[in-house]
Structure 1
């Protein structure tokens, strides 16, 4: 195919990190980790993101076999430029707490860090019981399945998923998958370990601006680069 794994890897890694920081699934992982055992939340969220990345890359890889590479190349260019301007528009027109507020509303807006001591004690007892369960039972626990389903369906049709499809159609799919998985692992781990404090300490506007510029750079590079056969 003549496409560089390293180029696909670096593009996918940079795109994933800048797309996922401050995204709905990032906040969902952070909020869930405040209420439930972190390893279950991390396993569920990361499992969903890995599967979504692989599926998206497979769709992108299959696209040139169904449509001519010339057309997939042009579509990818338009996608990158469109997502770039979309991200810039979001940065200048949306409030920085909007994503967080939306996720908290969906998860049940009563999540508070400084809750009553009885709630905290009950949560600790529940967590201890869950930690003492067999590994197989934890794997199929409602918490893990909740984290998986919220993340999977939250990512479906999201900007990062469509960008991964477009990137895999124009770059080496293996590099795109590896870069995407590592990027997702970094962002999800940061969300689970750092919690909401990390998410709120990062300026979403700066992230959106950086992501928008990156997408536009990818679009210009795709426009100027020759079509790989």
Structure 2
């Protein structure tokens, strides 16, 4: 379980770097208290990543174990390309983040829940769950995402809008390539 936790925390932390969710977190942090934003992110992430782990378990039982590592490595290379492409908030997403309706925690939770459906962090969690123990993957992926968004809030509050987005995006993509290459490298010998 500890290995699953560590791998998932690190992978999802990297996946979240430069993601639109970090932009949303910074935007919400300008309107609400930091603890409310982090609690909302935690609630949404816990639910989305529970579903992701469930999907990963299903895929893990359908695909032969020898192929899962190779497919996961290829998926991580795809996440690297996705990260290089970058993310930005649409005007609609900016408007949702800027207005507050009802409870701050509820508003943040709902926005993050919807933003994370089909996002690379959700897909990365599905991928990780095919190879690792589910509880560690679920908790680790949730912790990794909350930590990455907490970092974004802290950096955003300190540096305002002058974040070195390109450096973060390229660094995250490089780490995805390393994770992907490692997964492919460890899987290929079992397939040959």
Residue 143 (1) aligns with residue 139 (2) = no
Tell me the residue number matched to 1:158.
119
Aligned residue number for residue 183 of structure 1: 144
Show the counterpart of 1:107: 94
8 Å CA contact 2:80–2:176 kept in 1: the answer is: yes
d(CA) in 1 for partners of 2:79, 2:6: 18
- Distance (whole Å) between structure 1 residues aligned to residue 163 and residue 91 of structure 2: 18
Bigger RCO of structures 1 and 2 (CA < 8 A, at least 6 apart): 1
- The worse-fitting range, judged by mean Cα deviation, of 148-157 and 186-195 is 186-195
- Over residues 56-108 of structure 1, what are the superposed CA-to-partner deviations in whole Å (9 max), with x where a residue is unaligned? 122112222233223433321221122223333x2xxx6xxx62xx2565232
TM-score normalised by the chain length of structure 2: 0.80
Return the offset for 1:24.
1.4
Does residue 30 in structure 1 map to residue 26 in structure 2?
yes
For 1:110 and 1:14, the matched residues in 2 are separated by 27
Does the 8 Å contact 1:60/1:166 carry over to 2? yes
User: Where do 1:121-140 residues align within 5 Å?
Assistant: none
Residue pairs, 1:74-85, within 5 angstroms: 74-85=70-81
Aligned partner of 1:118 in structure 2 is: none
Partner of 1:185, secondary structure, is: helix
- Correspondence for 1:46: 42
Number of residue pairs the alignment of both structures matches: 186
Structure-2 separation of matches of 1:191 and 1:104: 20
Separation (CA, whole Å) in 2 of partners of 1:48 and 1:185: 10
> In structure 2, how many angstroms separate the alpha carbons of the residues matched to 1:52 and 1:198?
30
* Stretches of structure 1 lacking an aligned partner (at least 5 in a row): 112-125, 127-140
Which residue of structure 2 lines up, in the alignment, with residue 204 of structure 1?
165
* Bigger radius of gyration: 1
Equivalent residue in structure 1 for 2:174, among 210, 213, 216: 213
Measure, in 2, the Cα distance between the counterparts of 1:26 and 1:103.
Answer: 14
Tell me, in whole angstroms, the C-alpha distance in 1 between the residues paired with 2:160 and 2:136.
28
C-alpha separation between the residues in 2 aligned to 1:149 and 1:188?
Answer: 16
- The RMSD of aligned alpha carbons is 2.8
- Sort the Cα spacing of 1:16 and 1:201 in 2 relative to 1 into closer, same or farther, 3 A: farther
Q: Secondary structure at the match of 2:169?
A: helix
User: Given that residues 18 and 207 in structure 1 are in contact (C-alpha distance below 8 angstroms), is that contact kept between their aligned partners in structure 2?
Assistant: no
